[in-house]
Structure formats: C-alpha cells, structure tokens
Amino acid sequence: MPELPDLEVAKAVLTRILTGHTIEQVEVGSPILLRRPTAERFKQELTNRSFKAFARYGKFLIFHFEPEAQLYINFMLAGRLKLQSPSTQKQKKMGFRFQLDTGWDLRYLDAKNMGKIYLLLKNEPTSLIPNYDDQGPDAIDPDLTLEIFYQRIRIFNGVVKHVLMNQRFIAGLGNAYADEILFTAKVLPFRKRSTLTDTEIEALYSATKSVLHHAITTITARVGDTLQFEVRDFLQVHGKGGESCPTCGTTISSVKSGVRVANFCRQCQI
Ligand SMILES: [Zn+2]
C-alpha cells in the first residue's frame, strides 16, 4: 500500500514533469474505482484541463487543475500511477487514462480494484469524500508539534500500532511505516496505548518525523523523475521477518494480526 513517503515523492515527480501540461483525452476504465462523478462527466470535465499543482494529505494524492477542479486519489492496497506510451497495451484494471500533450499517457492502474478516485469541481467541498475531513494532521505537517501529538494520542485507545495507522489520529501511515516507527522508537507494536510513558510517546513522535523524512530523502534519490510507488528495500524491519535485526542481530519477528503482518525485534523493542 502506498504510504506517506511514496506519495510525497510521487507528488514531487508529478510537479516537476506535468505542471502546466494539458490532458487532451480521457478514458475511464473500471467504473468501481471512480467514486464521483459519473464516468461520462469525468471525461467531459477533465478533457482540456491543465495540471496547475499537485498536493498530498495523508494517503490522498491531489491534482489541482486549471480551470479549477481537484482530483483526489486514495490508492488503497494496490493503486499505482504510471506514465506510459499510448501504444502500451491497455490493462484491465485501469481507473483512468489521460492522454497528455507531452505525447505520454498518465494511467491509474489498480490490480486489486480497491482504490478510490473523486473529482471535485469548483467549490464542491471535501466533505463529499468519505472520511477525508475526519483525518488528523498530516504526519509530516510542521504544525504537528510534540504537544499536539501528546494531546491527540491520548484520545485513541487500543494497541499502539493500530493507533499510529488510524488516519483520524495522524494521517499518512500504513502497515510498513508504522512498523519502522515503532522499531526506531523501541516500542513493541502490540503495547496498549494506555501503557505508554511520556518518554515513549516522545520517542514515537521523533521517530515518526525522522523515519518519514529519511524515507522521502532515500526514495527521492532512488527514483529520479520516474513514478515508483513502493521502494521499500531500505526499511529496517518491515518485510524482514526471519532476517537479523540491524541493531542487535536477533531474528526479526513476524506476527500476523488480522490481514496484516507486524515485523519487530523482541530484543530492541519493549
Ligand atoms: Zn534488535
């Protein structure tokens, strides 16, 4: 699942290569991916619009168009954006295809068909997007201070990993980066939030910022001007179950919780 660092880097790449360019033609694929408006309206509205700017909030990537309109994409498990030659064979699970004035296609592909795409026109409010306005502060928002983090985390109960992944607490984290933040903060994923000391909450706050900024820097250096959504090989514990902990050498644990796997070090994390 693309998370905050993946989308932050994609936003920067799209800004560099597409700002000012125009969509010449629109094709809609799997209608289940397109939550609003209708496919016909989506095609009509976006044809001949230009990319004005790109933004991100939590796990939503946002396209701002000229004339005014905004496209919100929640990639969920397997959504991807790809720049492809128009001659590239069409994929079945495609949300949309924008034929650009650059001679390339921008395509939204989704092997799981679970992504959610919303187009808002002019002054339509974000309250039309389910759960969007309920999100907490973006995890790398400079206004998210330690004090605010302290205040907000106390509202949420349950295991700490689930609190980190709850978009209403802070927005942008999924399974992979929650594992990394907990490892860096030396906190076990299944601890109850109510058992965390002030020092541990402060460690979680610092780790949230440092892990995400380090990931953005690393992925940026790796991808250049290409769109890649899950560069993850630099992570320390996530996806590394059975390998050695980079800090102490203990075997990294893999514990399945629901549909997700938590990776952590029983020695380094308490
Ligand atoms: Zn360890």
**What three-state secondary structure class fits 171?**
strand
**pLDDT at res. 96:** 96
DSSP 204: H
Query: Ligand 1: distance of its center to the CA of 152 in Å?
Result: 29
Query: Ligand 1: distance of its center to the CA of 189 in Å?
Result: 14
Beta-bridge mates of residue 192: 159
CATH number at residue 191: 1.10.8.50
Query: Ligand 1: distance of its center to the CA of 208 in Å?
Result: 19
Let me know if residue 253 belongs to a domain: yes
**pLDDT at res. 210:** 98
Let me know if residue 96 belongs to a domain: yes
Taking the C-alpha atoms of residue 216 and residue 155, their distance in angstroms, rounded to an integer, is 29
Query: Ligand 1: distance of its center to the CA of 252 in Å?
Result: 7
Q: Based on the domain organization, do 95 and 48 belong to the same domain?
A: yes
Helix axes 198-223, 146-153, angle to 10 degrees: 110
Query: Within a 10 A sphere around the Cβ of 20, how many other Cβ atoms?
Result: 9
| Residue-level length of the chain | 270
Number of domains in the chain: 2
Let me know if residue 67 belongs to a domain: yes
Let me know if residue 269 belongs to a domain: no
**Each residue of 15-37: pLDDT tens digit?**
999 999 999 999 999 888 999 99
List of residues 6+ apart from 147 with CB closer than 8 A:
none
Q: Please provide residue 204's backbone torsions phi and psi, each rounded to the nearest 5 degrees.
A: -65, -40
Domain assignment of residue 159, given as a range: 146-264
Query: Ligand 1: distance of its center to the CA of 177 in Å?
Result: 17
What tokens were used for 102?
């650059």
What does each of the 270 residues of the chain score in pLDDT, given as a tens digit? Answer: 999 999 999 999 999 999 999 999 999 998 889 999 999 999 999 999 999 999 999 999 999 999 999 999 999 999 999 999 999 988 878 999 999 999 999 999 999 999 999 999 988 999 999 999 999 999 999 999 999 999 999 999 999 999 999 999 999 999 999 999 999 999 999 999 999 999 999 999 999 999 999 999 999 999 999 999 889 999 999 999 999 999 999 999 999 988 899 999 999 999
Residue entry with tokens 């800004």: 15
Answer yes or no: are the C-beta atoms of 22 and 52 closer than 8 Å. Answer: no
Burial class (CB in 10 A: 0-12, 13-18, 19+), 178: buried
- Burial track 142-157 (b if 16+ CB lie within 10 A, e otherwise): eebeeeebeebbeebe
pTM of the model: 0.96
Q: Based on the domain organization, do 151 and 260 belong to the same domain?
A: yes
Query: Ligand 1: distance of its center to the CA of 253 in Å?
Result: 10
Taking the C-alpha atoms of residue 212 and residue 170, their distance in angstroms, rounded to an integer, is 13
Burial class (CB in 10 A: 0-12, 13-18, 19+), 194: exposed
Q: Based on the domain organization, do 117 and 155 belong to the same domain?
A: no
CATH number at residue 23: 3.20.190.10
List of residues 6+ apart from 222 with CB closer than 8 A:
228, 231
Q: Based on the domain organization, do 157 and 115 belong to the same domain?
A: no
Query: Ligand 1: distance of its center to the CA of 2 in Å?
Result: 26
